[in-house]
Amino acid sequence: MFPLHRGRRLRQNESIRSLVRETNLSPADFMFPMFIVEGENQEIEIPSMPGIFRRSIDLTVKEVQELFDLGIRAVNIYVKVSDDLKDNTGKEAWNPDGLMQRAIRAIKAAVPEMIVMPDVALDPYSMYGHDGIIKNGEVENDSTVDALVKMAVSHAQAGADFVAPSDMMDGRVLRLREGLDAAGFQNVGIMSYSAKYASAFYGPFRDALDSAPKETGEVVPKDKKTYQMDYANRIEAIKEAVWDAEEGADMVMVKPGTAYLDIVREVKDAVNIPVAVYHVSGEYAMIKAAAEKGWLDHDKIMMEQLMCIKRAGASLISTYFAKEAAVLLRNQ
């Protein structure tokens, strides 16, 4: 009998295809990364990320309400801090009246059901643009972890639902869990950026926050390769995710997204907690640029990438496309 198999039977029309579709996308799969600046009524588009803005707290809150109405249930918050507040201790990071802490309070007051996940890392506060404290020309692990604990506790005090360490210091999840518990925040979760690669895909993000490692004339590492992972490696991604789960992370994240879907699948198989994926700034910029030139179909590529990230094993996706994709899903 020829042919033995007719796989095309299940692809005949959209109704059949929808019956056998293995993966579906919903706005609740997305988290939206937001950049916050000081001031009022500020909305500044990031040149390398068309459609993405740095907003002051008042306009951020409005945007969060719109996102919630579209079915999006989590935001990742990043702040752009003025240069005079940056030093080598990162102390502005745990100022109870800092920009991040005020932003968290304002969002939770206006849209209490939106899950707020502030970024925990020192780079926006570092005069060197590094994710930690520099000592003897290196990013020092343990003193940085102490600073991150103070930072995370101040986020919890401001009302954060989860803290999201993106620094890649060793042992930080355990110390954050202990620090949050000791301060009475047993229910504040940890979403750990466990498998975060040293990636050129973060370029536009560093433009947005002005946080790229700086040329200061002093001896400091010129890039983040002593703490973020080597993109040639997979075993250490599994190891990092398993360690973070053991240390008490509630979710782990793989970052970037589409070039790392093998890692997403392996991490998903290795841990028994939700895996998040960060579809990062450079991935967003590439699609926007190609679509602007008319070389790719923007909406189709956007949905294909998000669906494929989910198919690979992501339970949730942090993406600058969250709002556009949610609108598209609503109108379908």
Q: Which residues are annotated as a binding site for Mg(2+)?
A: 240
Q: Token pair for residue 141?
A: 């692990």
Asked if residue 256 has a cis previous peptide bond (ω within 30° of 0), the answer is: yes
| By CB under 6 A, residue 154 contacts ligand PBG | no
**C-beta closer to ligand PBG: residue 105 or 224:** 224
Choosing from 86, 196, 224, 288, which is the catalytic residue? 196
Instruction: Using DSSP bridges, classify how beta strands 115-120 and 133-135 pair: parallel, antiparallel or unpaired.
Output: unpaired
Distance between CA 103 and CA 117 in Å, rounded?
A: 11
| By CB under 6 A, residue 202 contacts ligand PBG | yes
Asked about 288 being catalytic, the answer comes back as no
Distance between CA 266 and CA 199 in Å, rounded?
A: 19
| By CB under 6 A, residue 67 contacts ligand PBG | no
Residues 102-121 interacting with ligand PBG (rule: CB under 6 A): 119, 121
| By CB under 6 A, residue 206 contacts ligand PBG | yes
Residue in this structure with the two tokens 């189709």, named with its chain if needed: 300
CB contact at 8 A, 118 and 75: no
8-state DSSP, 88: S
Asked about 196 being catalytic, the answer comes back as yes
Q: How many CB atoms lie within 10 A of CB 278?
A: 27
Q: Which of 125, 114, 192, 180 is nearest to 152 (CA)?
A: 180
| By CB under 6 A, residue 260 contacts ligand PBG | no
| By CB under 6 A, residue 162 contacts ligand PBG | no
In the list 131, 240, 247, 266, the residue contacting ligand PBG (rule: CB under 6 A) is 131
| By CB under 6 A, residue 166 contacts ligand PBG | yes
In the list 32, 205, 227, 321, the residue contacting ligand PBG (rule: CB under 6 A) is 205
Span near ligand PBG by CB under 6 A; candidates 96-104, 184-192, 200-208, 243-251:
200-208
Q: Which of 278, 289, 295, 88 is nearest to 196 (CA)?
A: 278
The residues of the shown chain that bind ligand PBG, judged by CB under 6 A, are: 119, 121, 123, 131, 166, 202, 205-206, 224, 280-281
Active site residues: 196, 255
